[in-house]
Amino acid sequence: MKEITLRACAKINLTLDVLQKRADGYHDIRSVMQTIDLCDEIGVTVDAGQWSCSCDGANIPGGEENLAMRAARAFVRAADVAPNGIAISIKKRIPSQAGLGGGSADAAAVLRALNTLCGEPLTTEQLMEIGASVGSDVPFCVLGGAALAEGRGEVLTPIRGMPDCAYVLLKPAFSASTPALYAALDRQSAIDHPDTDGMIEMLSRGDLQGAAGKLGNVFQPVLNADHPVDALCEKLLRVGALGALMTGSGSVVFGIFPNLSAAESAVQQLRGGDFEVYTAQNG
């Protein structure tokens, strides 16, 4: 029996653009993604005697339905290894239904853990390829850092990430269905596209204020039609955020602050709201 514990870090989308619907039903996207240090803790044991996946998070499936388990099954097939069972345990810290890629982060951590425990049979590129079969955000979570994500999210170009800063994240009680948001976008005649190239330029210059000014997510107006997403961003701006945006398909919104003490002072002022509050830094 061999065991490893590692961190599975969340991601935020600094920009998220949807270009077109593809023949396979997915959409081509362009997104700048950044890893943050809000992490789940993943324990993986090979030769555990049986296959199992347990998760302490409410409303998150254990067993075969969990993305982490699907990643483990896909790894075993691709790496052509035959362990006597794999046990996965997930300590959830990343809120789910949030747009933070929590399930994808767990799946990616399992791929990295199994590759280590099995003697590195696969390259990082191969792990990313397996990850793409599990979920569109998994390849980025395998890679980590900051990247431009294209294709359906699996075509990744590493870029310079966010300068040192801190994030305050607000998780409201409502959440969105990712496929429903894509479908709503398909019905729209005009989309206000974010300036992803401008974001990459600001990041390459290390310009925090400039990057905060380039935040944009095509899903935000769609979800805002039914839920007060913009109002949450405004709350963050009122307590000193340089910029604020919904991540992924929501419903978490994040604000960018120059440092942790500014973020913590904002958290004090946000107390008592109808949302969970998290702080994070680049991961």
* Catalytic center residues: 11, 137
Tokens of 73: 């099954």
CA distance 79 to 246: 37
User: Are 159 and 147 a contacting pair, CB within 8 Å?
Assistant: yes
Give CA–CA dist 245/26, Å, rounded. Answer: 23
Q: Which residues pair with 35 in a beta bridge?
A: 11
Nearest partner of 24 among 177, 127, 176, 132, judged by Cα: 132
Shortest spacing between CB 19 and ligand C5P, in angstroms: 10
Q: Which residue has the tokens 């067993």?
A: 63
Classified as helix, coil or strand, 140 is helix
Please report how close the Cβ of residue 25 comes to ligand C5P at its closest, in angstroms. Answer: 6
Closest residue by Cα to residue 280 from 157, 116, 165: 165
Instruction: Tell the smallest beta-carbon distance from residue 181 to ligand C5P (Å).
Output: 8
Is the CB of 63 or the CB of 179 nearer to ligand C5P?
179
Chain positions contacting ligand C5P, by CB under 6 A: 26-27, 29, 135-137, 152-153, 178-179, 182
Quote the tokens at residue 61.
């499936």
Contact call for residues 107 and 70 (beta carbons, < 8 A): yes
Q: Smallest gap, in angstroms, from Cβ of residue 137 to ligand C5P?
A: 6
Quickly count: other Cβ atoms within 10 Å of residue 22's Cβ. 11
Q: Could you list the beta-strand ranges (E) of 162-272.
A: 166-172, 216-217, 243-246, 253-257
User: In this complex, which beta carbon is closest to ligand C5P, that of residue 76 or of residue 155?
Assistant: 155
In 3-state terms the chain splits into helix, strand, coil percentages (rounded to 5) of 35, 30, 35
d(CA 90, CA 275): 24
